[in-house]
Structure 1
Amino acid sequence: MDIKDVDLNLLKVFDALRKKQSVTLAGDLMGLSQPAMSFALGKLRTLFDDPLFIRTSHGMQPTARALQIAEPVQRILEMVSSEVLPSTGFVAEHSDRQLVLCMSDIGEMVFLPRLMRMLDKTAPKLRIRTQALSSEQLEEGLDAGEVDAAIGYFPRLLNTSIRHRALYSHSFVCIVRSDHPTIGDTISAEQYQAAVHVAVQAEGRGMGVLDKELASHGVTRRVRFSLPRFMGVPFLVAESDMIATVPLAVGRRFSEITNVRLVPLPWAICGYDIHLYWHTRFHHDPANRWLRQSFIELLGDFSPSEQMSI
């Protein structure tokens, strides 16, 4: 094989097929029709003298040769994109680009109002779309360029091509209805364990940290309502004698919009770090850099002392 025979676009086709394991889906990613993708795959097979992708009941699976070249091809494309091709530039003030963020409902409650106020002043035309994804889905989205950045707690996100930066640490707080008949400004360990709880169960997310911490103190909650998201929690608490344990920043937002108040936990509970995530491929992208810097500045004053003053 001679370097003059290698078409960079064919490497992009290869990378798209590796990600999507489907000629049709890879074509959608590339903006090519299925016949055009099939033709390009034929050229790739001739170029590498290997089938590269074999059709199975689980999609187009890579051959040993495809697995061998997958990482080098990805590195080449990333280098060309970030270091060789000139940037088209990005001016936040005038851009009407849509940026896609991955965050949980916690993130939407805590981060988006701050981001909105900042955008109103600095980037009034910029559009934001959020998605709630699992670690596996987020990894695919960042890798494919379908997600620009993520904010949250994703301990299972282990892809070495994905960069991250810690922003701040979440702690936990108990919320009760404002006129709770038996719980005042504090709650004892006995009251906590005797109370009926609303709990959020989100596998692989920050609330798992709480479960482990409570277990380490020998605490078992009497959970009556178990929810997958936070939005329903304050409304159940505000209209009952039930209590809930939530991240402090979330508890603050709940106390502003519903009839609940914050009460410190009776134990010292470790929190978890909130990180900003992005893909190495877009590390030098002007829009991505602007977005990352904006979040760093927005959350730079989200200090532990501010969080802990209940």
Structure 2
Amino acid sequence: MDITDVDLNLLKVFDALHRKQSVTQAGDLMGLSQPAMSFALSKLRVLFDDPLFVRTSRGMQPTARAQQIAEPVQRILALVSNEVLPSSGFVAEHSERQMVLCMSDIGEMVFLPRLMRVLDERAPKLRIRTLALSPEQLEEGLDAGDVDAAIGYFPRLVNSSIRNRALYSHTFVCIVREDHPHIGDRLTAQQYQAAEHVAVQADGRGMGILDRELALRGVARRIRFSLPRFMGVPFLVAESDMIATVPLAVGRRFAEIARVRLVPLPWAITGYDIHLHWHTRYHHDPANRWLRETLIELLADFPSLGPVED
């Protein structure tokens, strides 16, 4: 193969096919018709002297040769996009770009108000869209450039092409209604186990750490309400004698919007780290870098919030 035979657009087609494993979906990503994609694929097969993608019941699956060159092709495209081609630059003050963030409902409650205030001051036309994705969906979204960054607890996100930075650690706290008849400023282990609980059950979330920590101590909660999200928790607690165990930052937010107060747990429970994630391909992208730096700055004082008063 001679490098003069290589068309950069063909590499973009290859990358789209590798990520989508569908001629139609890859064509949608590239803005090309299915016949045009099929023609490009035939040229790729000649160029590499390999079928590259084989049609199966699970879509267009890459051959061993395609798997071998997939990551180098991604690096080449990222290098050309970020460091070779002239950039129009990114001016946050004037940008009308939509940035996509993946975060849980915790993130929306805790991070977005802070981010909104910063954007109002520095990037008033910038638009934010949030998504809640599984680790598998998030990995694909970051890889495809459909997601600019993710904030949260994603222990299964281990793709070596995805970078991350630890932001701060979440600890846990109990919330009870302001005028709870039996629980004062402190909560005993007996009270914790005797009380009815509102619990959030979400696979892969930090709350799984709480479940494991309680199980290690032989603590069983009497769960009255089990919810998939956090938003309903403070309102159930505020209208009952039930209690809930939530991340500290979430508990503080709940105390601002509902008639609940914070009470320390009877035990020292191990917390979990919140990370910022982004894809290596967009590490040097000006808009992505500005977003990351902004998020790191506005979350920098979270560790200084300290624990709830004991």
Same fold (TM over 0.5): yes
Please, which moves more after superposition, 270-279 or 67-76?
A: 67-76
Q: Which residue number corresponds to residue 19 of structure 1?
A: 19
Please, which moves more after superposition, 257-266 or 61-70?
A: 61-70
Please, which moves more after superposition, 116-125 or 211-220?
A: 211-220
Cα deviations by residue, 1:183-223 (Å, 9 ceiling, x for unpaired): 11111001001111111111111111111111122211111
Once the 2 structures are TM-superposed, how far is the Cα of residue 233 of structure 1 from its aligned partner? 0.8
What is the alpha-carbon distance in structure 1 between the residues aligned to residue 259 and residue 306 of structure 2? 20
Q: Which residue number corresponds to residue 62 of structure 1?
A: 62
Cα deviations by residue, 1:66-99 (Å, 9 ceiling, x for unpaired): 1122122122222222222222200000111000
Give 5+ residue unaligned stretches, structure 1. Answer: none
Q: Which residue number corresponds to residue 308 of structure 1?
A: 307
Q: Secondary structure at the match of 1:261?
A: strand
What is the alpha-carbon distance in structure 2 between the residues aligned to residue 160 and residue 173 of structure 1? 34
Once the 2 structures are TM-superposed, how far is the Cα of residue 171 of structure 1 from its aligned partner? 0.6
Q: Which residue number corresponds to residue 162 of structure 1?
A: 162
Matched-pair contact (CA < 8 Å) for 2:173–2:308: no
Q: Which residue number corresponds to residue 212 of structure 2?
A: 212
What is the alpha-carbon distance in structure 2 between the residues aligned to residue 103 and residue 226 of structure 1? 21
| Fraction of identical pairs, as percent | 82
Q: Which residue number corresponds to residue 83 of structure 1?
A: 83
Structure 1: which amino acid aligns with 2:57? S
Q: Secondary structure at the match of 1:89?
A: coil
Q: Which residue number corresponds to residue 261 of structure 2?
A: 261
Q: Secondary structure at the match of 1:250?
A: helix
Q: How does 1:179-190 map to 2 (within 5 A)?
A: 179-190=179-190
What is the alpha-carbon distance in structure 2 between the residues aligned to residue 263 and residue 309 of structure 1? 7
Residues paired across the two proteins, number: 309
Matched-pair contact (CA < 8 Å) for 1:52–1:62: yes
Q: How does 1:29-178 map to 2 (within 5 A)?
A: 29-178=29-178
What is the alpha-carbon distance in structure 1 between the residues aligned to residue 147 and residue 72 of structure 2? 23
Give 5+ residue unaligned stretches, structure 2. Answer: none
Please, which moves more after superposition, 243-252 or 295-304?
A: 295-304
Query: TM-score scaled by structure 2?
Result: 0.97
Matched-pair contact (CA < 8 Å) for 1:87–1:285: no
Once the 2 structures are TM-superposed, how far is the Cα of residue 309 of structure 1 from its aligned partner? 3.8
What is the alpha-carbon distance in structure 2 between the residues aligned to residue 164 and residue 113 of structure 1? 22
Root-mean-square deviation over aligned CA pairs = 1.0
Structure 1: which amino acid aligns with 2:50? D
What is the alpha-carbon distance in structure 2 between the residues aligned to residue 87 and residue 308 of structure 1? 45
